[in-house]
Chain A
Amino acid sequence: MLFAEGNRDWENTPGWAQFLISVGHAWPHDLSIRRLGLISLPCDSAAAGLVALGAVVRDLENPDANDVTGHYEALARHAHQYLTSCRDCEYRCNPDIKKCGYIAEALGRVRSLRSPRRVFVVSDRTNIEQRHLAFAYQDLIEFPKPQFAADWYLYDQPPPVLPTNEGELCADRYRGFFPEKEVFAENLRRTYSGLCLAGRAAGERSTRDRFASVRFRQDGFDCRLDDLLTINRWSDAAVSRVSFFNTRTEKFDRPSESPALVVADGHVSFLKATGRREFQQSDILGVFSRTLERDALETLGNKIEAWRQWYETDDEVLSRTGPTPRGITVMILRRKSPQ
Chain B
Amino acid sequence: MVTASEIFEFVADTENWFVERRELASVAFGNLRRNLRLMFMRLRETDDQESREISEKLRMHISEWLTVPIRFDRSMVDALHALGGPAAVHKRWGSEIGTSYANALVSVEEVSRMENPVRVELRGIINSLREQNTSFKIWCHRRARAHFESIVEPPAEVLNDSVFLHSLSNYKDVRPFHTLIKVGPLRSFGWSSAPDALITAPRFSRLIQVVWSGCSDEQHFGYDPIAAGIQGAGKQSPAQQNRISWSSRTIHSGEDSRLENERGEEDEFELFKQSTPRDEQRYATLIQIDDEHGILYPKHAKVLTFDPAPDVPEPIALRPLGTDVIEGMFCILPRLGEVDLGEIQAGEGQFSRKWKERLRHELAINADGIHRLLRNGGITLVHLRSRMGNWAKPPTTVIHAPQNRRDFEILINVLGVDFDPGDPRIHKGIPWWQYAWREIQRARGEAIQTGLKEHEIIHEELQGFLNGLLAEIRSNAARSDTFQLPIVVGRDAYGDLLFFKIVTIEDGYLAPDSELKCVRELGVIEQWRV
- Please report A residues at the B interface, Cβ cutoff 8 Å: 5-6, 8, 11, 14-17, 38, 40-47, 201, 203, 205, 213, 248-249, 268, 289-298, 300-301, 304-305, 308, 312-313, 315, 318, 323-327, 329-331
Contacts and interface: CB of A to CB of B under 8 A. Distances in A.
Given A5-B4, A44-B4, A304-B232, 15 more contacts: A6-B3, A41-B201, A43-B2, A205-B311, A292-B197, A297-B225, A298-B223, A301-B223, A301-B228, A313-B233, A324-B238, A325-B8, A326-B11, A329-B230, A331-B230
Contacts of A43: 2, 4, 7, 172, 201
Interface string B1-30: 111111111011000000000000000000
B201 A8 contact: no
Contacts, number: 148
Interface string B220-257: 00011111111011010111101110000000000000
Contact of A290 (B200, B232, B237): B200
Contact of B8 (A201, A296, A327): A327
Interface residues of B, number: 47
Interface in B286-310: none
Given A43-B2, A330-B226, A291 B233 contact: no
A16 B12 CA distance: 10
Nearest to A46: B4
B201 A329 contact: no
Contacts of B311: 203, 205
Interface stretch (B39-47, B188-196, B368-376): B188-196
Contact of B5 (A14, A201, A290): A14
- Most chain A beta carbons < 10 A, residue from B2, B223, B229, B324: B229
Contact of B322 (A40, A291, A296): A296
B229 A304 contact: yes
Nearest to B314: A249
A263 B244 CA distance: 25
Contact of B224 (A16, A45, A329): A329
A298 B240 CA distance: 20
Contacts of A324: 238-240, 242
Given A42-B7, A249-B313, A300 B225 contact: yes
16 contacts: A8-B6, A14-B9, A38-B226, A42-B7, A42-B202, A43-B2, A43-B4, A47-B4, A203-B312, A294-B195, A296-B323, A304-B232, A313-B233, A324-B238, A324-B242, A326-B244
A3 B230 CA distance: 32
A130 B499 CA distance: 59
A300 B168 CA distance: 18
A290 B224 contact: yes
A313 B230 contact: yes
Nearest to B239: A324
A323 B227 CA distance: 16
Nearest to B14: A326
B322 A8 contact: no
A291 B168 contact: yes
A293 B507 contact: yes
Contacts of B168: 291-293
B171 interface: yes
A301 B239 contact: no
